[in-house]
């Protein structure tokens, strides 16, 4: 136990302030959004991730949001196990026809108001897989989508920024959105 504590102490905190990719600086966006999440989602935004047919590359980068460098939880954002607990769906992959109904049901199970973000080139437009006998292509072909995060896969920073922006947009579009 002492060695665990020793390691933790020696290492310190590796979580990074967000780099300035866009103006205003992301740290500021982060701070504003933390406030927004505080106000609108009682301090915690719950995301249900749905792999609707991805190649699993997008999943790896979404998982990375939980690593100590990105630490998405510091903004009050966390991933939950059930759509019934979720405020937001993060959907990856071209939607395979075999996942189509599961995605619809997951969407239906998520309480309103809900945000849906399509992730990756595949989520945006089917990517390398397109639409076929096996794939419906874009997430928007199956359920309503509020925002898109492009990239193959999008980097954790892209994900972080876009998730925060999507919440920001939702609150400007709909200032009365309160839980």
Partner 1 sequence: MRPQGQLAAFSRHLTDVGLYVEAQASPGLAPTQLILVQAVDWSRLGIAARAWGCRWVAGWGEDMGETIRVNTCFEKAGAYLVARTAVPRAKPVLWSHIDSYPGADRPERHIRDMLGVVFSGHPDKRRWTRHQAWKDSEFPLRRDFPAAGRPQAQTPADHQYNFLLAQGSGVYEIPVGPVHAGIIEPGHFRFQAVGETVLRLEERLGYTHKGIEKIAEGRDADGLARLAGRVSGDSTVAHAWAACMAMEKAAGLEVPPRAIWLRALMCERERVANHVGDIGAMLNDIAFAFGFYQFARLREEWQRVSRAAFGHRFMMDCIVPGGVAVNLDQHFIAAMRDEARTLRKQIGKLMAIINDLPSVADRVRGTGILKPEYAQALGCMGYVGRASGMNFDVRRDAPYSPYDKLTVKVPQHHYGDVNARARTRLEEITASFDLIEGLLVGLPAGPIRVTWKPPVAGTEGLGLIEGWRGEILSFVRFDADGRIARFFPRDPSWTTWPALELLIHDNIVPDFPVCNKSVNGSYSGHDL
At closest approach, how far in Å is the CB of 49 from ligand SF4? 12
Identify whether the C-beta of residue 149 lies closer than 8 Å to the C-beta of residue 118.
yes
Backbone angles phi, psi at 46, to 5 degrees: -100, 125
The answer to whether 93 contacts partner 1 (rule: CB under 8 A) is yes
Which span sits near ligand SF4 by CB under 6 A: 98-106, 115-123, 131-139, 162-170? 115-123
CA dihedral (169, 145, 25, 47) positive or negative: positive
Our CB check for partner 1 shows the closer of 39 and 101 to be 101
Q: Which does 155 bind (CB under 5 to 8 A by kind): partner 1, ligand SF4, none?
A: partner 1
Our CB check for partner 1 shows the closer of 37 and 62 to be 62
- The owner of tokens 């504590």 is 5
Which span sits near partner 1 by CB under 8 A: 28-36, 99-107, 161-169, 171-179? 99-107
H-type alpha helices, the chain: 2-11, 26-40, 57-64, 97-109, 120-125, 156-173
Our CB check for ligand SF4 shows the closer of 38 and 57 to be 57
């Amino acid at each position: 136990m002492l060695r665990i504590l020793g390691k933790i102490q020696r290492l310190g905190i590796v979580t990074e302030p967000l780099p300035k990719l866009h103006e205003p600086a992301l740290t500021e966006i982060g701070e504003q959004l933390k406030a927004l999440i505080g106000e609108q989602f009682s301090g915690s935004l719950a995301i249900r991730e749905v792999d609707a047919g991805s190649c699993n590359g997008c999943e790896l980068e979404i998982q990375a949001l939980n690593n100590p460098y990105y630490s998405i939880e510091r903004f009050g954002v966390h991933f939950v196990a059930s759509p019934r607990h979720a405020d937001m769906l993060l959907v990856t992959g071209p939607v395979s026809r075999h996942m189509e109904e599961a995605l619809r049901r997951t969407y239906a199970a998520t309480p309103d108001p809900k945000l849906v973000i399509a992730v990756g080139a595949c989520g945006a437009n089917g990517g390398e897989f397109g639409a076929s006998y096996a794939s419906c292509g874009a997430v928007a072909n199956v359920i309503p989508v509020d925002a898109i995060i492009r990239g193959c896969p999008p980097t954790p920073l892209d994900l972080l920024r876009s998730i925060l922006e999507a919440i920001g947009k939702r609150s400007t579009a709909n200032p009365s959105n309160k839980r």
